[in-house]
Amino acid sequence: MFKLFTSDAFQMKHRYRYARPASGVTVLAHLFGIIAIILLLVWLLHYREGIDLDSDNAYRVFNVHPFLMFFGFIFMAGQAMMAYKTVGAERQVKKLVHMFFHLVAMVLGIVGLHAAFKFHDQAGVTNLYSLHSWIGIGTFSLFCLQWLFGLVVFLFPGAPSETKARVHPWHISAGRALLFMAICAALTGLMEKVTYLRLQHHHEARVINFLGLAILLFGIFVDLSISLARYV
């Protein structure tokens, strides 16, 4: 009985020790995510003519792509990861929220990719010619496979407990790797855009650079929050 009490006290002590850093880092992740969304909107609405998937202006169509690939895909995927690891709720509820946020990310990501292909068709640009596009398509394809894998193994109908325990670390590691692959695709896309446009306005270049830093910091703090949260 004393041994059990000591073990419980030890766990409570470590939960208290790691809960505050995990929650603080989660706040920072949201902060940098919101900053990135604001900078993205400033760039697209103020410097790049706006966002409109149905526009005859090819550049307005293209602007749907960076907006949805960050807000719709990267930001929502980060929310899904943090919701599962840092929110205090029943495990099944967290699983459903986790899968739902990822589903939203996947659907909006498809629309974002469609915008890029539509822009290429309107502007007469070759598809999938750059490193950015290769990383992006590869990441999104693996993301969809990861979601289907999680759905089958962890939710409906669910694999045996032994199998779940064996593949769980791989699922988490793959999710974290995909987040940074998506961020890598976003950053290479921003730099590709700067080079393609040959920006003459230093203010726009600074907005894009700070946007890239905010996206990177969002990913770093998402990863830190879920790493610390595993001790809670």
From CA 101, how far away is CA 174, in angstroms rounded?
17
Comparing C-alpha atoms, which of 127, 170, 147, 153 is closest to residue 73?
147
Q: Are 135 and 188 contacting, i.e. CB atoms less than 8 angstroms apart?
A: yes
Alpha-carbon dihedral 121, 38, 95, 88, rounded to 10 degrees: 180
Q: Are 232 and 15 contacting, i.e. CB atoms less than 8 angstroms apart?
A: yes
pLDDT band at residue 85 using 50, 70 and 90 as cut-offs: confident
pLDDT band at residue 149 using 50, 70 and 90 as cut-offs: very high
> Going from the N-terminus, what domains does the chain have, and what CATH number goes with each?
14-229 (1.20.120.1770)
C-alpha of 126 from chain center: 27
Give the pLDDT confidence of 195-210 residue by residue, as tens digits: 876 655 678 888 999 9
Q: Are 61 and 121 contacting, i.e. CB atoms less than 8 angstroms apart?
A: no
